[in-house]
Structure 1
Amino acid sequence: MRKLKVVILPTSLRTWLDATAQNIDTTSDNAAALLPKLAEAGLFRLGVPAVLGGHGGHVNDAIAGVAAVSEHSLAAGFVFWGQRTFIEYLLQSPNEALRDRLLPDVLAGRRAGATGLSNAMKFLAGIEGLQIKSTKTDGSLRVDGELPWVTNLRASGFDVAAAIQADGNNPAFVASLSSEDIGLERSGDLDLMAMRATSTAAVKINNVRIGVDRILHHNASEWLPKVRPAFLGLQCAMAIGLAHRSIAETTSRLKKGRDILREPSEALTNALVEAETQLQEGLCSKSFERSPEKLFELRIGFAAMAAKAVQIELSATGGRAYLTQPGEGFQRRLREVAFIPIITPSLVQLKSALDARQQPQLISEIA
């Protein structure tokens, strides 16, 4: 079995996350501080080639980083996912000039990078149409539409990747839009139950003009399958980190009549490690580009394991979990695990995509 990637966070960051996790979850007070804190620890440089300002390695290193952060705060892990996914788009884009212009500030946390491609991933899976359209005009592109839910739209400035339907018979493409674009409007932060410091908002795009120099790739259907494994793999990391934290909390309480929980906790740990190994090996071999179904199944499985880990933690904690102060961490993790299934593409959408892919095969087998 391949040795799993593990990232040890700096003590200063772990301490800050533990001290502010509740605040990050329930208020927007630390929204401005969160991105720079992650950047100071060098986390956005994980899996980025050294020649481009990174620490080298593979996207699996970034996944291990998101998991490590998510053990302390899923809201922080969610912001990390958005920033690092945008970085991955820049790394995999053939537009080197755009990459070279945007990457330094995004790696350093001076600028937020957001992935508005959740709609595009659903488009790729045949779940819904694209929500942004474009027309050619005066040597530029006019872009109109909306992104109803995007994370890491930092108020001080952001770039957001979006899939855009081209006019005529031209293929959809992926471009980077900017908070400074005239006609691009960010809503106020969405009134979420939790994840309040994640700078999650909607974007309206009205007559925004961009040049072809802002295009990340000219053919979305060709490019998205190549970036989807990192997109979903980094999402999986959030569930992985949360599951590991709940298992650790359970382990610390296996006494006073609760030792009966040791066996299910250890079984869950083994299943989690096996699934992590499959994720890392699939990303290294690029098999998920050819067979995304396995990645969909892993994403669904990680969500289920995180939910089970939190429930075992509840059994290990007992009634203290419902007391405001001693149960604060558990109550946050309960909210966090409720959020994982609805991160786009949601578990329902992934299961629907799997079902749609299986139908032709079933028909063929019956015939």
Structure 2
Amino acid sequence: MPGSELLTPGLRDWLQANADLLDTTAELADAVVPRLADAGLLRAGVPVELGGSGGSIGSAIAAISAVAEHSLAAAFVFWGQRTFIEYILQSPNAALRARWLAPLLAGTVNGATGLSNAMKFLSGIESLQISATPTDDGWQLDGALAWITNLRKDGFIAAAAVQVAGDAPPAIVAFTSGSAGVTRSADLDLMALRGSNTAAVKLEAVQIDAEHVIHLDARAYLPGVRPSFLGMQCGMSIGLARAALRSAHALSTSMRGPLLPRIEAAQAALAQQEATLIEGVEDGRFKTAAAPLFRLRIALADSVQEAVMLELQASGGKAYLQDRDTSFARRWREAAFVPIITPSLTQLQVELQKHAAA
């Protein structure tokens, strides 16, 4: 898949100029989604008849990868927005889609995935953190989510899995920041990716109606959307690894260094992982066989760690000098996030152990 050529020159230049600022401060956090929208990236993989630019989910993965080559913070926001868009694309709720899809694609409202807790729940790792009590015209939501990205301070819509009272199955719903009882925390004090509008949310007696139900059965819905959730998440790793390996290759070529064969082998392996990922997401195999997708997510995380280590070795001591190019230091911090984004590598390894035992 192509890389930075997917970006408009204006977006590419803006990301390159502000990558460190997006990583270390919240100064430009609210500018990311509108910039992505203006460049048409949020429409990748969305049917033309619904306002998108067409293509498949592979188009969205490629676009996220291209952004991640320049800024993982921006790619993280992109993943959150585009994943929420995917939720409502795959929802049977036409009213929800009609109300929210256009502003989400236009970047005038931020969408937050909120389903990290749900993905853990699906794997039996964690109980649901939000309860839903039926009311005369909908549900009342109570609970909290400790970590959600893309929560724009002046307005957002977020997805969450909820435990419904009684015998009903867990459901997937959406709630908005303007609803009474929704409280956004201050930004979490992250060591990197600080421009990602990442915070916690508390819900106290929040009222929602049928229009805000993404799906009435979380267990039926989540396996179908998980390949897109994880596939687009993997796009972050692909772009970051690609950027680090490109830098390492340029440094090693200029010095005729002994690292060059290892770098080129890593680039070839990364390209193969990307091709396998997109093929599997597009042909639907990961909907019924999650283990190969989990292995790919782990392999791509390993590729990121190898890539930044090769870049460090190719750079040598100058990588430690603050007055030199800061791109490596940023990528090093960004790479530290890849193993822990939900589902973390530890959680995936536990899942694979259970799968092997079964």
User: Is 1:170 aligned to 2:174, yes or no?
Assistant: no
Moved more, 229-238 or 205-214: 205-214
DSSP 3-state at the match of 2:125: coil
Q: Is the 8 A contact 1:116 1:150 kept in 2?
A: yes
Aligned to 1:142: 140
User: Which amino acid is 1:169 matched to?
Assistant: D
Supply the distance in 1 between the matched residues of 2:31 and 2:137 (Cα, whole angstroms): 40
Structure 2: gaps of 5 or more residues: none
Supply the distance in 2 between the matched residues of 1:212 and 1:8 (Cα, whole angstroms): 38
User: Is 1:281 aligned to 2:279, yes or no?
Assistant: yes
- Aligned-residue offset at 1:137: 2.1
1:124-171 deviation digits (Å, cap 9, x = unpaired): 111111111111122321110101000000012000000001111110
Supply the distance in 2 between the matched residues of 1:216 and 1:258 (Cα, whole angstroms): 55
User: Is 1:217 aligned to 2:228, yes or no?
Assistant: no
Aligned to 1:115: 113
- Aligned-residue offset at 1:325: 2.6
DSSP 3-state at the match of 1:198: coil
- Aligned-residue offset at 1:259: 2.1
User: Is 1:294 aligned to 2:292, yes or no?
Assistant: yes
Q: Is the 8 A contact 1:122 1:128 kept in 2?
A: yes
Matches within 5 A, 1:47-196: 47-196=45-194
DSSP 3-state at the match of 1:197: coil
Supply the distance in 2 between the matched residues of 1:238 and 1:256 (Cα, whole angstroms): 28
Supply the distance in 2 between the matched residues of 1:140 and 1:96 (Cα, whole angstroms): 17
User: Which amino acid is 1:221 matched to?
Assistant: R
Supply the distance in 1 between the matched residues of 2:138 and 2:98 (Cα, whole angstroms): 21
Structure 1: gaps of 5 or more residues: 361-367
Supply the distance in 2 between the matched residues of 1:325 and 1:108 (Cα, whole angstroms): 39
Supply the distance in 1 between the matched residues of 2:324 and 2:60 (Cα, whole angstroms): 32
Aligned to 2:197: 199
Matches within 5 A, 1:334-345: 334-345=332-343
DSSP 3-state at the match of 2:207: strand
TM-score, length of structure 1 as denominator length: 0.96
Supply the distance in 2 between the matched residues of 1:282 and 1:263 (Cα, whole angstroms): 29
Aligned to 1:364: none
User: Which amino acid is 1:201 matched to?
Assistant: A
Supply the distance in 1 between the matched residues of 2:246 and 2:147 (Cα, whole angstroms): 32
1:183-231 deviation digits (Å, cap 9, x = unpaired): 0100011111111110000000011111122100000000000000000
DSSP 3-state at the match of 1:78: helix
Aligned to 2:237: 239
DSSP 3-state at the match of 1:80: helix
Aligned to 1:359: 357
Question: Compared with structure 1, are the counterparts of its residues 257 and 40 closer, same or farther at alpha carbon in structure 2 (3 Å cutoff)?
Answer: closer
Moved more, 312-321 or 258-267: 258-267
User: Which amino acid is 2:75 matched to?
Assistant: G
User: Which amino acid is 1:182 matched to?
Assistant: A
Q: Is the 8 A contact 1:186 1:203 kept in 2?
A: yes
- The alignment's C-alpha RMSD in Å is 1.0
Supply the distance in 2 between the matched residues of 1:206 and 1:39 (Cα, whole angstroms): 32
User: Which amino acid is 2:260 matched to?
Assistant: R
Supply the distance in 1 between the matched residues of 2:159 and 2:70 (Cα, whole angstroms): 28
Among candidates 240, 244, 250, match of residue 252 of structure 1: 250
Q: Percent identity?
A: 50
- Aligned-residue offset at 1:172: 0.3
Q: Is the 8 A contact 1:126 1:353 kept in 2?
A: no
User: Is 1:305 aligned to 2:310, yes or no?
Assistant: no
TM-score, length of structure 2 as denominator length: 0.98
Matches within 5 A, 1:308-327: 308-327=306-325
Supply the distance in 1 between the matched residues of 2:210 and 2:247 (Cα, whole angstroms): 51
Aligned to 2:25: 27
1:272-295 deviation digits (Å, cap 9, x = unpaired): 111111111101110000100000
Q: Is the 8 A contact 1:114 1:153 kept in 2?
A: yes
1:303-328 deviation digits (Å, cap 9, x = unpaired): 00011000000011111100113141
Supply the distance in 2 between the matched residues of 1:270 and 1:86 (Cα, whole angstroms): 32
User: Is 1:8 aligned to 2:6, yes or no?
Assistant: yes
